[in-house]
Structure 1
């Protein structure tokens, strides 16, 4: 049943303040991805699984990332809304899939704040041994929340400065490997090796492809630019550019230093067996002083990532309030805009409060809950772009991906492989898939039993972004 929305929202619809340039959106998006954090925190997991085959794992993930970036760019140029993925899916696939996507994202984004913040203590311990990781994470989250309330343009420059520092750290790591290589690039390309029970041997394609699933996660975040669509000038064109540039920069910023580490490590067995691979590499190549400086830069990068993710998540929480997803009083509060800064200040405080509390949860639990939910969101977006072309709900998009429908179809195949690999893992992957399915069920029940019965999920947005008729089905 067709369920059109009014072409112009009510005058009282809360609206964010425009004025952010595409560069500012790009800086915040890259900060949320945090290439340095990915290289120092996520990449070691890829190396532990695939050995020197991690080079190919990151390369494969980059190809999948390009296809997903095309999907994100087309959808975001049609609907550059602060609700992000859920607002897009609801307008292209229907309200039920949209709210299920919201359920996945809302929980995942709040948990990711804590997951990333917990990494700060790890790298600050080089200066202050014995720090409590949860306490440091909570303090980091509170500080980032307070910064997030300021004007979005101020935060764009704050994140830009921090981002420059982490990029310098990555350049140093890359230089340490490329200027003093212990092996040739041909060894990585043609003869990748992996450690199995302490014995180094050839890395199979299955192992490399399985590790690519983790590498995909390390690139994730380029689509976050859409959350600032209501604050970015000329968003219909600018957000697509920000997404594509964010992915390109991220691939280079992560693949190059990872390759340098694999080329420059004095001993691959020692690298594979190190408790902290990156600290081992930097310490072995440049000594403890440089290792300390790099560790502090990574701690700052993690703080920057927490700040950027709170900015992103608070926009989504604001959008849920504007769309009346919760009881009236809660929705009204979450949709409040600060009169001076033009930011969703109550949504920001709520996001920070939940993120701070979750810093004291078990980290393994946080990782299991968040591990596969992004895969489900990616699947929803691929289906959304296919359906958007079919039913015309994205016909007004300013960006159209090349070679459609190759990108979403190839991405769906790759995501199917990731799901299969997770299903084969009884310790981590399978529980994560079950939790993801559970979140989908609970979100669907809330929509069916609460929102649909009261007929009060409004899918609002700025008038210039809602001028097109909403063709999503209920």
Structure 2
């Protein structure tokens, strides 16, 4: 006899901590971070990418402590906006919700656009990157409405293939050491074809890209209500996810630097990983790795779509919209036990963003949104124990409030740096999002008993 479907407004708890880690790490997609995102850091900081990613890992750990404590204390599929609302009030909740929503809107097309290169490398084709990105995004949303237990199995299997592709880089790089270990600690960039010491400003500036490459461990908290243990292990899922992501990404980046036949040629190459593969490997190996990277990106976007569905579902249950929209977003599919309408909410706009031709602009704007969300989470973790003394905090980060303070300072510094370098368009979009949050709160949230009781 089959299990009865979950009623509307309720998620069916079927996941273990291992399942949540599998989905979360798949959403981070370490392979695409190394192949698609890390090259931007290499272009900016040269061999300083290693130190930038190490500093990003330390800062990410501070954020992970914040997510772990908040996720365990506030156990909700809404994640960041729920914390902001409970700690700082209704307006903060709406502002955080819309910022998270826009961030989740941009991440799939960013990853999908970068994946087109690897599909063409694997097949020896010349498919248009925008067309490939569109197909990936649409297919990912279609798969995202399936049963989450099935998706956990699929994403976990694909994650193993993704790690296998990265191990090729590790074996090639460490198996053919050319550069001294000192290259990791003495950042160098290329100017006019000549290697020079990299200014520390460039290295620190690449920390934001490093955070983007690790980003995705925090959203493990979005799956707390899907866990069989009632979310009691969500803090473990957050910390384990970050630990695995850092190892899976940092080791191949180290191997890339150590194994580069020419450091200047690698730094100058638009495809540094491809440079390593063709220098030490062969065309067949390069194609197989490219196929693995393409699969990993597709896998990641499916996992991210699952997270999107949880955030939007929670927003409907917490009555952030009009009554009719709230009802639609909390509808559970009778067969797949998924919030399918909530999951599909961003499908069309995300697909349309696939037609953007500037991956660098999409990436820089997404990094800005991520830092905004991190700042909100860090502030919530800093003040949650102070302002919500009646709420139990079963998991408490070590040395509180030091990790939260460091997270606030780190996010604040990066945010100021990124805003200073951001385009007027990006700043106006963020101002528009904040203005829209005020409008929505005044129209719906302020008058909603369900949201006020959240």
**Same-fold call, TM > 0.5?**
yes
Residue 379 of structure 2 aligns with which residue?
Answer: 383
Residues 1:317 and 2:309 are matched in the alignment: no
Q: 1:202 aligns with which of 168, 183, 197?
A: 197
Residue 169 of structure 2 aligns with which residue?
Answer: 173
Residue 458 of structure 1 aligns with which residue?
Answer: 450
Quick check: 1:151–1:343 contact (8 Å CA) kept in 2?
yes
Quick check: 2:51–2:203 contact (8 Å CA) kept in 1?
yes
Residues of 2 paired with 1:271 and 1:45: CA distance?
13
Quick check: 2:319–2:445 contact (8 Å CA) kept in 1?
no
Quick check: 2:18–2:237 contact (8 Å CA) kept in 1?
yes
Residues 1:399 and 2:399 are matched in the alignment: no
Residue 432 of structure 2 aligns with which residue?
Answer: 438
How far 1:67 sits from its partner (Å)? 0.6
Quick check: 1:371–1:432 contact (8 Å CA) kept in 2?
no
Q: 1:355 aligns with which of 327, 350, 363?
A: 350
Residues 6-85 of structure 1 aligned to structure 2 (within 5 Å): 14-85=9-80
Deviates more, 1:88-97 or 1:431-440: 431-440
Q: 1:393 to 1:369 in 2, by over 3 A?
A: farther
How many residues align? The count is 447
Q: Unaligned 5+ residue runs, structure 1?
A: 1-11, 461-469
Deviates more, 1:372-381 or 1:317-326: 317-326
Q: 1:119 to 1:290 in 2, by over 3 A?
A: same
Residues 186-335 of structure 1 aligned to structure 2 (within 5 Å): 186-189=182-185, 191-335=186-330
How far 1:60 sits from its partner (Å)? 0.4
Give the superposed CA RMSD: 2.0
- Give 3-state SS (helix, strand or coil) of 1:372's partner: helix
Residues of 2 paired with 1:424 and 1:19: CA distance?
45
Residues of 1 paired with 2:423 and 2:195: CA distance?
25
What TM-score comes out, normalization by structure 2 length? 0.94
Q: 1:394 to 1:43 in 2, by over 3 A?
A: farther
Deviations 1:400-419 (A, max 9, x none): 00000111111111122212
Q: Unaligned 5+ residue runs, structure 2?
A: 1-6
Deviations 1:179-210 (A, max 9, x none): 11112212322x22111343310122222111
Quick check: 2:105–2:349 contact (8 Å CA) kept in 1?
yes
Residues of 2 paired with 1:429 and 1:63: CA distance?
28
How far 1:106 sits from its partner (Å)? 0.9
- Give 3-state SS (helix, strand or coil) of 1:125's partner: helix
Residues of 2 paired with 1:362 and 1:446: CA distance?
31
What TM-score comes out, normalization by structure 1 length? 0.90
Quick check: 2:72–2:395 contact (8 Å CA) kept in 1?
yes
Moved beyond 6 Å, runs of 4+ = none
Q: 1:221 to 1:16 in 2, by over 3 A?
A: same
Quick check: 2:39–2:270 contact (8 Å CA) kept in 1?
no
